[in-house]
Amino acid sequence: MSFDLVIRGGTVATAADRFSADIGITGGRIAALGHDLAGADEIDATGKLVLPGGIEAHCHIAQESASGGMTADDYRTGSISAAFGGNASFVPFAAQHRGMGVTETLDLYDSRAQGASVIDYGYHLIIADATDAVLREELPAAFARGVTSFKVFMTYDRMKIDDRQFLEILSVARAHGALTMVHAENSGLIGWMTDRLMAGGHSAPRYHAISHPAAAEAEAIHRAVTFARFLDAPLMIVHVSTPEGADIIARARLEGARVFAETCPQYLFLTRDDLDRPGMEGAKFMCSPPPRDAESAAHIWRHLAVGTFSLFSSDHAPYRFDTSGKLAGGPEAPFNTIANGMPGLAVRLPLLFSEGVRTGRISLEQFVALSSANAARIYGMAPAKGSITVGADADIAIWDPQETRTVRLEDQHDAMDYTPYEGMELTGWPVTVLSRGDRVIDGGRLVAEPGRGRYIARARPDLGAAAPRPPAELDPARAFGADLLGRDG
Ligand code: DUC
Ligand code: ZN
Ligand code: ZN
Ligand code: ZN
């Protein structure tokens, strides 16, 4: 029997194990794992690692902010950059803004993505306007079209939901088997700090970090986790930056809560000192939550190693260092008018491989879990995505674990004019990326056409069993009736 394509002689790794095998691919799927397989086409992977294609589960592509600014990357440049970074699929956000319907929002993002992406894609829905119609009709309709995760913001005046709306969204999501994601920072504390700093004339980029203290994240994570546990609704806390926040999550997980968490490169590799670079340079390192300090980063690394975090995502939020992005408010724009976010699609996985796997902080299997397998399961894309197993999509990244490169803007292949990681030397890089058996990146070059990527209609997230029921007097469902809380039993 001959396959369409055979990847020969590599070390295959999944989230569970590693072994040497050839991979036989037919019709875009993995058809066999074995030895001495023959194919019409072959890739020699001797000395290389053959991993499930990365899944970038947190990035902002062709998204306008609440104040109207557009990200620099669209689905063409964003997907190309992701592919160069070892990703075979990605799940950007479809952002509802106030006054927009959810179906309208998803149709708009479909029009932005179709014909543009080189890799497969889905969307998480951002809910900014939780009207009755959204909650009762549009969220179920979004779920039915394969958008099975919903993000809410506890901060940002034009995006934030209040506690009652948060409870309502958790409850509706739970009833449909959807996963709620949350940007957890205390809005009042950030607003108060910002006003004080601005009143004192402190408007430079470095004050952004001071205006978003660790306490703002810890308080909001505690509140979000409390609500999720009260309803036994699953929750994903995105972009966790602080030891205080991670500790709350670790404790809740230890106690059996279905609370999941994500961290990002900026909380491991950058610090608030980066915001204090000369002139406006610090604006390049402004994101929310902001980078913290070296001790916090070391603590987040340990949480990554022990399993507090299920996901390591870029939070690629590309605003250029010019008047189309960060400096839209002028050459000395005050920090509270500068767009939050930084790029990272192409460098997320090399950073984690070089500084995580090679240093022994995490295992290769953990690397696969954090970069691909967990996202596939948690966001309803398994078993087609996230593993190297017979029947799965042939979404594969072939890595050279010995190759050393210096991070350069021109190798990001995004629409940005800077990378926060410029000049870092990293060892271990993806060299070939396949999506459903098609070469997308080969020999350091893009070899796929925009538009070949397909929409992934995601299934119900696989999040494990609900927590055991508390005693009747502590169980809101039994005390008040299941319907009231939207629980399904
Ligand atoms: N939240 C994100 O998830 N990304 C960029 C900025 C933000 O506040
Ligand atoms: Zn956020
Ligand atoms: Zn801790
Ligand atoms: Zn984000």
Q: What is the ipTM of this complex?
A: 0.93
Q: Which tokens go with 427?
A: 């060892």
Report the first-to-last Cα separation within the chain, whole angstroms: 50
User: Relative to the CA of 238, which ligand 1 atom is closest?
Assistant: 3
Q: Which two tokens stand for residue 241?
A: 């930056």
Measured distance CA(237)–CA(444) in Å, rounded: 34
Q: Do 4 and 39 touch, CB atoms closer than 8 A?
A: yes
Question: How close is the Cα of 234 to the center of ligand 4, in Å?
Answer: 19
Residue range(s) in the chain whose domain bears CATH number 3.20.20.140: 53-375
Q: How far is the CA of 288 from the centre of ligand 4 (A)?
A: 8
CA 34, 36, 39, 42 torsion-angle sign: positive
pLDDT for 4: 98
Task: For residue 58, give the ligand 1 atom closest to its CA.
Answer: 3
Q: Give residue ranges with CB within 6 A of ligand 1.
A: 60, 183, 238-239, 287-288, 315, 317, 340-341
DSSP E strands, 235-374:
235-237, 259-263, 311-312
User: What pLDDT is stored for residue 464 in this prediction?
Assistant: 79
Sequence-distant (6+) residues with CB within 8 A of 105 are 94, 95, 96, 97, 125
CB 121 within 8 A of CB 88: no
Q: Which residues of the chain have pLDDT under 50?
A: 488-489
Where exactly does CATH 2.30.40.10 map onto the chain?
2-51+389-446
Q: Which ligand is nearest to the CA of 341?
A: 1
**Measured between alpha carbons, how far is 466 from 256 in angstroms, rounded to an integer?**
9
**Using the 8-state DSSP alphabet, how is residue 215 labeled?**
H
> Tokens 């205080």 label which residue?
244
**65 Cα: distance to centroid of ligand 1 (angstroms):** 10
> Which atom of ligand 1 sits closest to the CA of residue 155?
8
Please check whether residue 183 is in contact with residue 236, taking contact to mean a CB–CB distance below 8 angstroms. Answer: no
Neighbours of 75 (CB within 10 A): 24
What count of residues does the chain have?
489
DSSP annotation string for 29-56: EEEEEESS-EEEEEEE-TT-EEEEPEEE
CA 332 to ligand 1 centroid distance, Å = 22
Residue 374: which of 15, 1, 2, 116 has the closest Cα? 15
pLDDT of the residue at 68: 79
- Supply angle C-alpha 287, 290, 291, rounded to 5: 115
Instruction: Identify the pLDDT of residue 489.
Output: 40
Domain 2-51+389-446: CATH architecture, name and number where available: Roll (2.30)
Name which residue sits closest to atom 5 of ligand 1, judged by CA: 341
Q: SS3 for 445? A: strand
C-beta of residue 244 within 8 angstroms of C-beta of residue 185: no
93 Cα: distance to centroid of ligand 4 (angstroms): 8
Which CATH architecture does the domain made up of 53-375 adopt? Answer: Alpha-Beta Barrel (3.20)
| Residues 428, 7: Cα–Cα separation, whole Å | 19
Going by alpha carbons, the residue nearest to atom 1 of ligand 1 is: 288
Please name the residue whose Cα sits nearest to atom 7 of ligand 1.
288
Give the ligand at the shortest distance from the Cα of 246.
3
Q: Which of 123, 125, 181, 183 maximizes ligand 1 atoms within 8 Å of its Cβ, making it the mutation to test the pocket?
A: 183
Q: Describe the crossing of helices 187-199 and 214-231 by its angle, rounded to 10 degrees.
A: 160
CA separation for the pair 194, 160 (Å, rounded): 17
Q: Which atom of ligand 1 is nearest to the CA of 289?
A: 8
Q: Which of 262, 287, 335 to mutate to test the pocket of ligand 1 (most atoms within 8 A of CB)?
A: 287
How does pLDDT run across 8-18, given as a tens digit for each residue? 999 999 999 99
Parallel, antiparallel or unpaired: strands 120-121 and 54-59: unpaired
Main-chain dihedrals φ then ψ at residue 283, nearest 5 degrees? -60, -25
